[in-house]
Structure 1
């Protein structure tokens, strides 16, 4: 009876550890899914919007250059530069991959060089090199497209991580269910099993010795 109790409690303890281990693994998978969703939104969709806004402002510069709009470079251009600077700061605050960080750094440097060259546009007497400005704007357009492509590829990667974590959790739940059923049947077997009674060995008949009188 004592051994049956030990087995019963050992089974319960095993069930507890199985549930605890499963919970910890499930929690880790849920954390991966949550982190993946947050990353897709904050570091990919939001950044995609920032890139779109920067590209829109660069198009405004390109249009002013194509139409030789001197008034734009005298008044509006400074506002556009400030907006681009703010958008780049927000971009740098997000989680960046190594490739993304390199591209963004180069993009920022190209912006600074463009702004320095644009300073001459406010004064037509300096005969600014429009071809150089146009070339720089095209380079920036290409880099903006590269940054946009990075958001798409990283978003897919994060989505894949989340999908794997969900599949892993589902598989683990099925394994957990099977293990718990097996353990429950084992514990039930131990509880319902009748203890064996010790069978008494038959005693051999004692030889009786008769003492007779000697006549």
Structure 2
């Protein structure tokens, strides 16, 4: 009977061990999903949205300068602003881009490049021909708006992923509690089970 008792205890301990390992793996997977979502929201959405604003602000300065025909802006300040914009563009390239975002971002880079050409033509025209440069600024603003909306949508999607992972953790926690109760009963049955010995003849 000593060997049979050892088997019962081993089975009981194994069941507990398997449960603990399984629930830990599930919880770890869901924790990583939450962590990745939070990281993505910060690194690839909030930072990206800040960079969009950093590009939008100097583009608006250009627009005001053109509206006022401010020649000193293009003589003294525009080159520095263009350099800053390129720096923000390079930083934006380091974020994780979705397929839609990559298409809009490529269009933005092309429109910014075309804007520089239009600015040169605008200066060469004696600040008289505004149509082309304003058209390019409008295209850049449209790209920046589209990228900003993508950040909002992707941020919302990542929050949804995080919430689903948290809900899954809560669900498995409840299941785990019920299963532990069931397992405790099963272990008790295994440990307390004691089969009767066979045929001992009754005394006359």
Give, in angstroms, the shift of residue 194 of structure 1.
Answer: 4.0
Partner of 2:107: 106
Q: Distance in 2 between matches of 1:52 and 1:109?
A: 18
Give, in angstroms, the shift of residue 124 of structure 1.
Answer: 4.3
Q: Distance in 2 between matches of 1:26 and 1:128?
A: 65
Q: State the TM-score, normalizing by the size of structure 1.
A: 0.88
Partner of 1:18: 19
Query: 1:36–1:161: 8 Å Cα contact kept in structure 2?
Result: yes
Query: 1:103–1:143: 8 Å Cα contact kept in structure 2?
Result: yes
Give, in angstroms, the shift of residue 43 of structure 1.
Answer: 0.6
Partner of 2:174: 174
Please give the per-residue CA displacement for 1:50-101, whole angstroms capped at 9, x wherever unaligned: 1011111110000000000111111110011011100011001000000001
Q: How do 1:19-98 residues align onto structure 2 when only pairs under 5 Å count?
A: 19-98=20-99
Give, in angstroms, the shift of residue 198 of structure 1.
Answer: 3.5
Partner of 2:149: 149
Q: Distance in 2 between matches of 1:203 and 1:172?
A: 57
Q: Distance in 1 between matches of 2:154 and 2:121?
A: 39
Query: 2:115–2:133: 8 Å Cα contact kept in structure 1?
Result: yes
Give, in angstroms, the shift of residue 202 of structure 1.
Answer: 4.1
The answer to which of 73-82 and 192-201 deviates more is: 192-201
Partner of 2:161: 161
Q: Distance in 2 between matches of 1:139 and 1:194?
A: 83
Q: State the TM-score, normalizing by the size of structure 2.
A: 0.93
Please give the per-residue CA displacement for 1:122-171, whole angstroms capped at 9, x wherever unaligned: 3444x653111111111111111100000000000000000011111111
Q: Which runs of 5+ in 1 are unaligned?
A: 205-215
Q: Distance in 1 between matches of 2:154 and 2:21?
A: 33
Partner of 1:201: 201
Q: Distance in 2 between matches of 1:95 and 1:128?
A: 41
Higher alpha-carbon Rg = 1
Q: Distance in 2 between matches of 1:37 and 1:47?
A: 14
Q: Give the length in aligned residue pairs.
A: 203
Query: 1:74–1:122: 8 Å Cα contact kept in structure 2?
Result: no
